[in-house]
Amino acid sequence: METYAQALLYAIPVFMVLLAIEIGYGYFVKDQKHKVMDSVSSISSGFTNIIKDTLGLGVALVTYPYLLKHLAVFQMEATWPVWLIAFIVVDFAGYWNHRLSHKINFFWNQHVIHHSSEEFNLACALRQPISNLIGYFPLLLIPAAVLGVPNGLMAILLPVHLFAQFWYHTQHIGKMGWAEYIIVTPSQHRVHHAINPEYIDKNLGQIFCIWDRCFGTFQEELEDVPPQFGVLKPALTWNPIPINFQHLWRLIRDAWYAKSYWDKFRIWFMPTGWRPDDVKEKYPMAIIEDVYGFTRYETPASTALKVYAVFQMLVTTGFMWFMFYNFSAIGPKGLLLFGFVVFTGVYGYTTLMDRKEYAVYIELFRGVLGLALILFTGDWFGLDSYVPFGSWLVALYFLISLFSGIYFTYFETSAPKRNTWA
């Protein structure tokens, strides 16, 4: 986990700089692909995912070191051919993991968050799950374990493989000529995120597109079919935490209402979107049918609320970076508490973005919690060792959050809808 934290220490600033460049470029060419609330929601989803992953919150069915110990036929050194072979094996496993997530009802729950944005930009790349609490991915790495690919190599390669999927979440890059036949490009990934019937469940590759071409899941972006983004059952919230579990809740509810015990069992393993006939008839569920005519999710948001949302996102980014920088010193118990504060913060300010009245209680709770931690420990997880009066700045932040929750709930209760970044 500490290796992953160290990787994120360097990755987070790079991601934020690239996001700023994309936003700036969109503004410069007057073709903005970001909306404040959507992008803040996307980036906040990334916060929850990396907190969950770095703290190891979940149950692994099997680990790669275990497979390596019991299955390795060869003993490989970390030479450059081994790195290349391992990268290809990881990408092949990633393709099948991705395909499972799109094709099986239960597995779709852990991936739907990534598709939930109705925009397509670098921020939506950060919409990653917290609902993947049962880790089975190492099972797909059995070929690497059999070949004897070292665990240390895999520990570095897996985050590199994940981060390498960031860049192609953009609409500002067109088709890339010969590269379209080798790697996943922005054009191909726009197809993947689209809800057009022509594009659904296509282009499942992560780095190399050869798997899609080999296994019949490739689809070129068509000039006469502009991709429309999102999911057919819209999330209708900016809060990434409920988005992570909406599909699971639908499955639980449908399994409960189904009369047939066979349907109660098989619903989890049927193709994504499958529902028992009796449940569909009694409890119909609306889905998007006109992909060019549906209304995208928005909430009333003044300039002040948008500025506040960006402020929360930036402060939380700072919290995350400090956590990874000071990972060892904070310690396991401190990291769990730190993670809880960040989770609560994301839940609070994104609920406020949804204009939910109960958001004020979440903001009050986390404001009081943060101030109490500083009061009783005299510091903010060791921040004062690096920044003089750092804990006082954090205390000021919690006071701002507390009073802002009250202001946006009781004093600014409505605002005009706008479709621009500003």
**385 burial level (CB within 10 Å; 0-12, 13-18, 19+):** exposed
State the number of CA atoms in the 13 A half-sphere of 393 facing the CB: 10
Q: In this structure, what token pair is assigned to residue 112?
A: 């739907």
**Helix%, strand%, coil% for the chain, nearest 5:** 60, 0, 35
The structure tokens 């989770």 sit at 343
Distances (CA, A) of 345 to 310, 349, 354, 415: 13, 6, 14, 23
Closest residue by Cα to residue 236 from 299, 288, 289, 290: 299
Distance in angstroms between the alpha carbons of the first and the last residue of the chain: 38
Q: Give CA–CA dist 198/188, Å, rounded.
A: 13
| pLDDT per residue rounded down to tens, the chain (422 residues) | 667 777 888 888 999 999 999 999 999 999 999 999 999 999 999 999 999 988 888 787 789 999 999 999 988 888 899 999 999 999 999 999 999 999 999 999 999 999 999 999 999 999 999 998 888 999 999 999 999 999 999 989 999 999 999 999 999 999 999 999 999 999 999 999 999 999 999 999 999 999 999 999 999 999 999 999 999 999 999 999 999 999 999 999 999 999 999 999 999 999 999 999 999 999 999 999 999 999 999 999 999 999 999 999 999 999 999 999 999 999 999 999 999 999 999 999 999 999 999 999 999 999 999 999 999 999 999 999 999 999 999 999 999 999 999 999 999 865 444 444 33
Rg (CA), the chain: 22
Backbone angles phi, psi at 196, to 5 degrees: -60, 140
The DSSP annotation for 277-339 comes to HHHHHHS-------TTTPPPP-----HHHHHHHHHHHHHHHHHHHHHHHTHHHHHHHHHHHHH
Q: How many other C-beta atoms are found inside a 10 Å radius of the C-beta of residue 408?
A: 24
Q: Give CA–CA dist 126/390, Å, rounded.
A: 28
pLDDT in tens, 51-86: 998 888 878 778 999 999 999 998 888 889 999 999
Using the 8-state DSSP alphabet, how is residue 110 labeled?
T
